[in-house]
Amino acid sequence: MANVYETKVVSVGPEAEMFRAENMFILFGLEAPDNLKDYCYIIDRVPVKQDIAVGQKIVVDGVEYPITAVGSVAQKNLEGLGHISVVFNGATEAALDGSIYVDANGQEVPVLTQDSVFEIAA
């Protein structure tokens, strides 16, 4: 698999886990506004190596989730802000422009921790 994007979680906001009940999690770069940091997994912002597309995989700590839809500004937000939402509902059309949708394959939304590895692979 080709590596499209790879980063690590550097900190976990105290309220970040609450979005698991909505089948999603939110990533934001170190520059996240203070009023949002509590709700996000804070990551190192790194370049995206190629276009993010349906058919690629989100990989969290080695567990793969097929990408089913990509919002129109998800890649731009990830590159510029380190910010995306990952939604685990298998949608084939992006309801939110800054989100990437994946098929959870019957698995729970992953629990990210400090030093969790987040990847996108082609």
Whether residue 62 is predicted with pLDDT greater than 80 in this model: the reply is yes
d(CA 41, CA 91): 22
In this predicted model, what pLDDT tens digit does every residue of 65-101 receive, in sequence order?
999 999 999 999 999 999 999 999 999 999 999 999 9
Domains along the sequence of the chain with CATH:
3-121 (2.40.33.40)
Q: Which residue has the higher pLDDT, 92 or 107?
A: 92
- Token readout for 5 is 């994007």
pLDDT at 90: 97
C-alpha separations of 85 from 41, 70, 78 in Å? 10, 10, 10
pLDDT at 116: 98
Q: Is 122 helix (H, G, I), strand (E, B) or coil?
A: coil
pLDDT at 1: 77
In this predicted model, what pLDDT tens digit does every residue of 1-53 receive, in sequence order?
799 999 999 999 999 999 999 999 999 999 999 999 999 999 999 999 999 99
d(CA 24, CA 16): 10
C-alpha separations of 75 from 35, 50, 93, 113 in Å? 23, 10, 15, 23
Numbers of helices and strands, H then E, in the chain:
2, 8
